Chain A
Amino acid sequence: MKSTIILLFGVCILFCSCHEEKKQEEQSHTIKMEKENQPISELSIYNLPSVWTTQNNKEIELKELKGNVLVMVMIYTSCKAACPRLVADMRSIASQIPEAKKNNVKLILVSIDPETDTPQRLKKFSIENDMKSDQWVFLRGSKEDTREFAAVLAVNYKKISPMDFSHSNIISVFDQKGELAHQQEGLGVNNKETVSKIIELAH
């Protein structure tokens, strides 16, 4: 009889698993929704449920960044060609944000190589590149979540060898609600427009 019960239980797990998952998802979702005062808008990246790890080995959900203007770029730390220039672009943008508005702007670098870019490695990279203040956030997530996030940013990337990736060089600006406000494409392009958009949004 005991075995029958175990079997029944097994059957239930098989049948209900996806449903259960959904219920749990819904529950945790409602709890989190209650925490937020404002509903998340339709086009907001805060609709993405993914969990990320920062350079300080802290787990965060994107929506914890809500209320900030976000400047985002996707890179990988072992990159030798374009990424140093993208990183330089990010630093150049950061340096043009007035001191008074700095607290409302987060500069975010998302790794497209989560296997190699451990939190320790990201931390080291942040120190080497003088991106130590709280304003800089490095994120790494699962391969799937990274692919999904890139899909949202319209960033394309592909692993082209064990060490290297091809990727689009795009810097994206998101407003306080998490909606895409501006994108700058290419390397070493004039970032005047990007900077003025950030200043306009941050208040």
Chain B
Amino acid sequence: MNSLLKTVTISIIFSILITSVLAQTQGMVTVKGGVYIPLYGVDSTAVKINSFLMDVHPVSNTDFSIFIQKYPEWKRNTVKRLFADKNYLMLWETDNTLGDQLHPNAPITNVSWFAAKKYCECLGKRLPTVDEWEYAAMADEHITDARKKETYNQYILEWYEAPKSFNNTIGSTFKNYWGIYDLHGLVWEWTMDFNSVLISGESRKDVDKDSNLFCGSAAVGASDLMNYAAFMRYAFRGSVKANYAIRNLGFRCVKDIDIVP
């Protein structure tokens, strides 16, 4: 009897252990690594991406509410101005609650880069790099790289023109080749190294390739002048600052895949 009890206890604990490990990667899928040429790359040559896990959905309002309850220093009334400007969580009804205006399942927006970064870190994750994000986002429903497809680019550009898509709920756009939703069609997303975009010397100006403003500016030419949608994303990244909280800018997290030796 005693040994039976022991077995049961151990198996229960094991299942808790497994689910808690799973919980950390729940809602994530693997993006298989590869080589691709980003719009702005290292001397406009191919970039190697290692396989990584990416959140299937952008972080929702509900997800973020849970986070700020656990980490109250990221509430609207307590966050430091260095880390988030006055638009941070601006549309929340109170410092703690979303209110009726915001759908619990809509993507969180009006969050700064610092807040997004911290959120991911607290889940043992991180923000994707620009290269990782662009790599995952060039897939449509069927193929890993749909950048040459006219219909695909058309879809993205039409979304850029569509108003207020941030009110829609997560998972409401298409599921891409990797099983990831909403990379296009809902909100724009923070990346870890958004400030690696060198469109001007100071991130808020739009002078191109001034060799007095950049060291090595000759190397930052674009590789694919047809990819207008990507241009817009890079330009947007180049124009924001880390404490900006913007109405149509959210985020999702990624995680490195632990390589078993």
* Chain A residues within 8 Å of B, Cβ to Cβ: 1, 3-4, 7-8, 10-11, 14-15, 18-19, 22, 42-45, 47-48, 79, 81-83, 147-148, 150-152, 154-161, 164-170, 183, 185-188
Q: Which of A14, A151, A157 contacts B20 (CB 8 A)?
A: A14
Q: Is the CB of B198 within 8 A of A158?
A: yes
11 further A-B contacts with Cβ under 8 Å, apart from A11-B13, A15-B20, A152-B242, are A14-B20, A22-B71, A42-B80, A148-B242, A154-B204, A158-B40, A158-B197, A158-B220, A167-B214, A168-B200, A186-B201
For A155, what are the chain B residues with a Cβ–Cβ distance below 8 Å? Answer: 195, 203
For A76, the closest partner residue in chain B by CB is B215
Q: A161 near B43 (CB under 8 angstroms)? A: yes
- Interface range on chain B (Cβ under 8 Å from partner): 35 or more
Q: Considering the chains assembled together, what is the distance between the CA atoms of A11 and B200 in angstroms? A: 49
Expressed in whole angstroms, the minimum distance between the Cβ of B258 and any Cβ of chain A is: 15
Contact A168 B82 (CB under 8 A): no
**Residue of chain A at shortest CB distance from B9:** A4
Q: In the complex, how many angstroms separate the beta carbon of A74 from the nearest chain B beta carbon? A: 10
Q: Are B202 and A18 neighbours in the complex by a CB distance under 8 Å?
A: no
With contact pairs A15-B20, A161-B42 given, residues A168 and B216 touching in the complex (Cβ less than 8 Å) = no
A187 touches B212 (CB 8 A): yes
A81 B241 Cβ-Cβ under 8 A: no
Q: Mark B112-147, 1 if CB is under 8 A from A, else 0.
A: 011001000011100000000000000000000000
Of the residues B6, B16, B81, B193, contact of A147 by C-beta under 8 Å: B193
The CA-CA distance from A148 to B242 in the complex, in Å, is 8
A-B pairs with lowest CB-CB distance, top 8: A151-B242, A82-B215, A158-B196, A42-B81, A7-B13, A168-B201, A166-B216, A160-B219
Is the pair A156, B122 in contact by a Cβ cutoff of 8 Å? no
B192 — which chain A residues lie within 8 A by C-beta?
147
Check A186–B195 contact: CB distance below 8 A. Answer: no
The reply to whether the CB of B35 lies closer than 8 angstroms to some CB of chain A is no
Partner of B13, one of A4, A42, A170, A185: A4
CA distance A50 to B42 in the complex (A): 28
Cα A53 to Cα B115 in complex, Å, equals 26
A145 to B23 alpha-carbon distance, docked (Å):
28
Contact among A4, A81, A167 with B6 in the assembled complex (CB-CB below 8 Å): A4
